[in-house]
Structure 1
Amino acid sequence: MFAVCINYCKFAMIRSLTSQEIKWRLLLILHLVGLVGLSFSPSRPFFAQLSFFNLFITAALIFHEVWLSSRHPWRVLIWLFSLGMAVEILGVQTGFPFGEYSYGTVLGPRLAGVSVIIGLNWFYLVVSSVALLRWLGVVNIWLTVVMASLILTAVDFLIEPVAINLYYWQWEAVSVPLSNYIAWFVVSLPLVYLYQRFTPHPPVLFPAKVLLLQVVFFSVLQFFL
């Protein structure tokens, strides 16, 4: 009888959680496990290989938020993914506009030298940066375009040292070239604009929290690499 009561309480607790709370707790667990696994040298190669799944799940959960908020969720995903992949392929093949760099095999399957997950990365970072600004009360479309692009560039600046140490990608130069950050800002401008055009009432709380979670994740991880 006691076991039945316990199971019923657990079921009732799960039922009482909202969709966002369930997704948020899932991402918290994934990032915490990933942080621990990547922080120690013996387990780092294995957990680095799992980064693809972490990024994919994150993108999928954010797409669910877009699905609930946008009249054209698939159009949003396809446009942001395709444009992000196109500029990355151009960058890998020609060195323009980011600089000379190449992707390793850690992030999973590649298309024309670019890890496919990077297209989804562009998608959910654009969605999350706009969400953060909406959460902070910024609603003007043009101000959002500029500020979200600055946020995306700042996030890339934060991610770069970690990504290089985990062999997600490598630069030909000794350090990350300035052209990379300029390109991130310029490329982000039309992506943020398009997203707002397709999603006049974008999701706010969950994507904003995901972006802050990623900032904390990569900030802490830098101390262990």
Structure 2
Amino acid sequence: MKAILIENQDWTLFILSLVGILGFLSPWSQQFMLLTPLYLLTVAVMLLSSYKVNMRRMLTFMTIASLGFAVEVLGVSTGFPFGTYWYGNVMGPKVWGVPLAIGANWGVLVVAAAGIMKNWRANNFIKGILGATILLGFDLFMEPVAVKYGWWIWENVSVPWTNYAAWWVIAFALIQIEFKWHTKTDRKTLASTVIFSLAMFFTVLTAFSWSTDTWRKILIVAGTFFFMEFVAWFAHKYLMHGPLWFLHRDHHSKTDGFFERNDAFFLIFAIPSWLGLQFGSMAGFNWWFYVGMGILFYGIAYFLVHEVFIHQRFKWFRNSENPYFKTIRRAHKIHHKNTAKHGGESFGMLVVPWNYFTETKKLG
């Protein structure tokens, strides 16, 4: 019953974010901005309701929200640690110059980021670093939107680097409080959905403020990333299971050591990325640079999905119940059942044949 409820809440959060995007881009954006505190309160209630709600859960959330609010009061009053800024009048009632909704914002983001990290097999320090980095990336997209719509105003035109440094440090500290005080790992929560739905909201609104040249660069990076899936499929099927089988063979058999000959392909695929980044930057950051970025991002995705999630060479992730991740992991396991050079199936990484999705759904 709880899983069904959470699944419905997943869709509700995405729909709310979509409505918010359309509202902020409409002629009635000023009216929609006034709903921001109500939206944050709704997200907070939905997030907390997906956990086992008890006094400890509520006290932890309130402590994180209160500490985040207190740091904001310090920042508005003194300029430390973020830099000199002040809040506009669209975020609801303020106390000591800081909207009360900002405390809820800290609570939601920290609990959600920590909720994602709790399923990783790493110590709390490492998980805190990764969680704070997720929130730092989140802030990079939130700042342009917040400034554009008057949520807060910076003394200078550009956002100071101290804001991002302070954001990371404070997020890390608050995530550690969440780990320390709320140690239980709830498998089915809205943590991931909260982060992704809010990220979608701020990313889309930020993208609408970009210039045509910025869009062109983003499309080159994204296009290269997705084209690399085809390159990886082709190389896997016709090269690794072809003339380069002597490097790939040990990946289909058990080895005693940590490293495999197959790891050489990391270097092979890194070469075009490095060449693009190097020569593209030397030529004034031309399109080759962004091709190199696309290859780099695909390499990072490959490492996280293939080495960490599927083969668990680094014990960072627990098994996911997400249908997509269950499917690509199952497809890869079926591929590895064949230990010979020929006769394998499913050579892609991020994209696998549709029948694997239907079979995974049947198996549950």
Task: Please indicate, yes or no, whether the TM-score normalized by the shorter chain is above 0.5.
Answer: yes
Asked whether 1:183 is paired with 2:166, we answer yes
2:142 is aligned with what amino acid?
Answer: I
Instruction: State the match for 2:128 in structure 1.
Output: 145
User: Post-superposition, which runs of at least 4 consecutive aligned residues in structure 1 deviate over 4 A?
Assistant: none
- Aligned residue for 1:98, secondary structure, equals coil
Higher helix share: 1
TM superposition shift of 1:138: 4.1
TM superposition shift of 1:69: 6.2
Of 80, 97, 118, 2:64 maps to 80
Instruction: State the match for 1:28 in structure 2.
Output: 14
Asked whether 1:159 is paired with 2:142, we answer yes
TM-score normalised over the length of structure 2: 0.54
Instruction: State the match for 2:31 in structure 1.
Output: 46
Percent identity of paired positions between Structure 1 and Structure 2 = 34
Of 128, 139, 155, 1:172 maps to 155
2:25 is aligned with what amino acid?
Answer: S
- Aligned residue for 1:102, secondary structure, equals strand
For the 8 Å contact 1:70–1:202, the answer to whether it is kept is no
1:45 is aligned with what amino acid?
Answer: Q
Asked whether 1:115 is paired with 2:99, we answer yes
1:170-203 per-residue CA deviation (whole Å, 9 max, x = no partner) reads 1001100000011011111221111011111244
Q: Once structures 1 and 2 are overlaid, which stretch shifts more, 183-192 or 204-213?
A: 204-213
2:32 is aligned with what amino acid?
Answer: F
1:37 is aligned with what amino acid?
Answer: G
TM superposition shift of 1:88: 0.4
C-alpha separation in 1, matches of 2:175 and 2:63: 11
Number of equivalenced pairs: 208
For the 8 Å contact 2:88–2:151, the answer to whether it is kept is yes
1:123-145 per-residue CA deviation (whole Å, 9 max, x = no partner) reads 1111111222345x344211111
RMSD: 1.9
TM superposition shift of 1:70: 6.3
1:48 is aligned with what amino acid?
Answer: M
- Aligned residue for 2:92, secondary structure, equals coil
1:115 is aligned with what amino acid?
Answer: P
Of 80, 90, 112, 1:106 maps to 90
C-alpha separation in 1, matches of 2:140 and 2:76: 18
User: Structure 2: any 5+ residue segments left out of the alignment?
Assistant: 210-364
For the 8 Å contact 2:61–2:111, the answer to whether it is kept is no
TM superposition shift of 1:71: 6.2
Instruction: State the match for 2:4 in structure 1.
Output: 18
- Aligned residue for 1:105, secondary structure, equals coil
TM superposition shift of 1:59: 1.1
For the 8 Å contact 1:101–1:171, the answer to whether it is kept is yes
1:148 is aligned with what amino acid?
Answer: G
Higher relative contact order (CA 8 A, sep 6+): 1
- Aligned residue for 2:50, secondary structure, equals helix
C-alpha separation in 2, matches of 1:146 and 1:70: 27
- Aligned residue for 1:156, secondary structure, equals helix
TM-score normalised over the length of structure 1: 0.86
1:56-108 per-residue CA deviation (whole Å, 9 max, x = no partner) reads 10111112234x16661121122101100110000000000000001111110
Instruction: State the match for 1:125 in structure 2.
Output: 109
1:99-121 per-residue CA deviation (whole Å, 9 max, x = no partner) reads 00011111101110001111111
For the 8 Å contact 1:153–1:181, the answer to whether it is kept is yes
For the 8 Å contact 2:86–2:153, the answer to whether it is kept is yes
